[in-house]
Structure 1
Amino acid sequence: MIPVDKQVPSPHFTKGRKSFKPEAIVVHIMEGTLVGTDAWFRDPISKVSAHFGIGKNGELHQYVDLANSAWHAGRVNKPTWVGMKAAGNGTFYNPNYYTIGIEHEGFGQTPWSDRMYHKSAELIAHLCVDFHIPLDRAHVVGHHEIYSLKSCPGQHVNFNILLDLARQHRTALVDGTAPPTPAPVSGIPALQEEKKSGSVRVLKNLNIRRKAPTTSAGIVSTAPAGSTLAFEGWVTNGQPIQGNRKWYFNQDGDYFWSGATGEVV
């Protein structure tokens, strides 16, 4: 495990993991500061926690021992994560029992710092090696993929960048080589939104993706060919499909790829 800068024990956890083991990592945004989260997770009235918190400067805090279940993802609403464990009758086992929660300083609408990206990637790599967790989008997920009423961790974390960095750290761990030198994150450190509403015609059946411009995000709905979709703006640095990174987003903050659309109407 990588060195933790500060232990901030939270009283809010379930001892053990109810016969489960860590199988995935859930990425959260604090909607606040690292200092504020430290205080909130220790407050007797909060009843919430996570295993780790990462500050914008890369500082790493630990709140709950990994052998125990932090209270970070226990509520479930219309989950899109493929790793959800069904308990029967349309219910699910509590995801807290088989996930590790990592909080990140900031807000859903603010970009991540380079240091936070790199520290998060380093931590994720260690966790994946230690617990034999595959390093992919089926096992490193956003909180909103479990609890759809939240957009957490927001639109400004790029999972492609995060996973690429984590794979670099994992390679160093496995090979026993020096870890990658922290450097400015290139590519898409934050979604660059253009605000200009309108509508486009759908050329072929088109999936609307939940809260992120990537095919890894859950499908909210599918617009049939020939229909019209309204948009509130677009980004030009979403997941590239056939070399096209432009994705529209609607008033709900969900995205659809521009390459399957025609003229603005």
Structure 2
Amino acid sequence: MGTALVTGASAGLGEEFAWQLATAKHDLVLVARDEARLEALAVRLRAAAGVHVEVLPADLSVREDVARVAARLEADERPVGLLVNNAGYTVHERFTRSDLDAQDALLDVMVRSVQALSHAAARTMKDRGRGAILNVSSVAAHTVSGTYSAAKAWVLTFTEGLAVELEGTGVTATALCPGLTRTEFHERAGFTRLGPGWFWLDRADVVRVALADVRRGAVVSVPSVRYRVATTVARHLPREAMRALTKRAGL
């Protein structure tokens, strides 16, 4: 079934991608900073699904580590047919109060590494005539909540442009735009005031929809009707109204 490389694979959506891809009999390359956690996940995946699982520890804010992951994407042995650029986090602090190095690291992980790994994957997959790239954006791409939403907006626009460039090559590019999803992400970021319970998505559903959309070649994947409606409204709102809503929500 081919090999999939997943960044940010040690928790949250990345871990869920690993499980669903393993269940579908894809071999895996797991990328994250926490080597011990990756190794423990790899043991469970091998035992449960019987697939080949590689562990590739990397800090995607470090250029040398990104280069090592890019080299794996370009390797001929166990070629990667699906890249999932999932790694990400947020700095839960106002931009003007935060440390600029922290903001730079966020952009390194969520923008620069996505660009570098997509570049390596797209060029290699084009030469092979097949493959898929899934970049995790967010419904936050349509809001104005600081560096995080700016990074996710970049991922969305970048992926749409990449999809246009790859059309007809046998390689696809998809941007996943989930809304609030039950993972460790928000707890780690220190968020305490978020939407009502019915607005939250289950991570298994998000990943299931994303992989189905990749298979059909969709350029943008927005799991759930409520978030498809929300993003449609956000796209058509005047930017002044979006700024006012963001301020009111305290984002």
Q: TM-score range by the shorter chain?
A: 0.3 to 0.5
TM-score normalised to structure 1 length: 0.32
Structure with the higher helix share, 1 or 2: 2
- Structure (1 or 2) with the larger CA radius of gyration: 1
